[in-house]
Homo-oligomer: A and B are copies of this chain.
Amino acid sequence: MMLSQTEENYLKAIYSLAYANSNNISTTLISEAVKTKASSVTDMIQKLADKDLVHYKKYQGVSLTKIGQKIAVEIVRKHRLWEVFLLNKLHYNWDEVHELAEQLEHIKSDTLTDKLEAFLEFPTHDPHGDPIPDKEGNIEHHNNTMLSSVETGKSCVVIGLKDSSDPFLKFLDKLQIQLGNTLKVISKEPFDNSMLVETATTSISISNQISKNIFIKKL
């Protein structure tokens, strides 16, 4: 099945939204994700339904079919592998790779993705900590433990981000927080749920908004 870049972007958007929202995905949510108008989304999901890539009943929102899901995961796989390439090989920063990967994920080839994966030595996660699906489409999600849930006095390792937007990434750069860093919770402020956190080099105060967006593994 030969899909346009636009169709691929819709599938990927629906996939991400379904992961975050579980039930049927609304036209409006998709329109925000692909930055277009709701009326255009209706057109496109009807087209995708004709191609059996989404389940769709008028006014009821959409969900991916088996084949739609498979294609979406392939695009996610390509996106994340290209991000690894851009960071590890071309030395981009983690806040620069997403935009370029948005283009590179649409390169069509039967062999490119697997060759790229081998060249990168089979990375398991992208620069933002998101898991990279394997060749068969299997994907190991992390188990949603956030920094906000760590008890006072306990330590943890940063393994991922819920929000990987450029501003958030730049903000973490400023705090000198990177994937793999060990953080220790010194104290928690009941008033606003902020926490004092010890990094390798210093101590910083982190708002609840931030700590709810950082995936960690407890130590």
Which residues of A line the B interface, CB within 8 A?
A: 89-92, 100, 103-104, 107-109, 111-112, 115-116, 119
Q: CB-CB < 8 A to A108: which residues of B?
A: 103
* Selected contact of A100 from candidates B90, B109, B119, CB within 8 Å: B109
Task: Specify which of B89, B107, B109, B111 is in contact with A119 (CB 8 Å cutoff).
Answer: B89
Residues of the B chain whose Cβ atoms lie less than 8 Å from the Cβ of A90 = 112, 115-116, 119
A120–B89 CA distance with the chains assembled, in angstroms: 10
- Taking CB atoms, residues of chain B closer than 8 Å to A115 are 90-92
**A166 → B minimal CB distance (Å):** 15
Q: Are B91 and A112 in contact (CB under 8 A)?
A: no
> Smallest distance from the beta carbon of A129 to chain B beta carbons, Å?
23
Q: How far is the CA of A60 from the CA of B91 in the complex (A)?
A: 48
Shortest distance between the CB of A29 and any CB in chain B (Å): 27
Pick from B89, B92, B107: contact of A104, CB under 8 Å: B107
Q: A90-B119, A91-B115 are in contact. List 8 more A-B contacts (CB 8 A).
A: A89-B119, A90-B116, A92-B115, A100-B109, A100-B112, A103-B107, A104-B104, A104-B107
**Residues of chain B within 8 A of A91, CB atoms compared:** 115
Instruction: Tell me the minimal C-beta distance from A78 to chain B in angstroms.
Output: 12
Instruction: Report Cα–Cα, A109/B97, bound state, in Å.
Output: 11
When distances are taken between beta carbons in the complex, the residues of chain B under 8 Å from A112 are: 90, 100
CA of A100 to CA of B116, assembled, Å? 13
Kindly provide the distance from the CB of A165 to the nearest chain B CB, expressed in whole angstroms: 19
**Complex alpha-carbon distance, A115 and B109, angstroms:** 23
A and B contact pairs by CB, cutoff 8 A, 16 listed: A89-B119, A90-B112, A90-B115, A90-B116, A90-B119, A91-B115, A92-B111, A92-B115, A100-B107, A100-B109, A100-B112, A103-B107, A103-B108, A103-B109, A104-B104, A104-B107
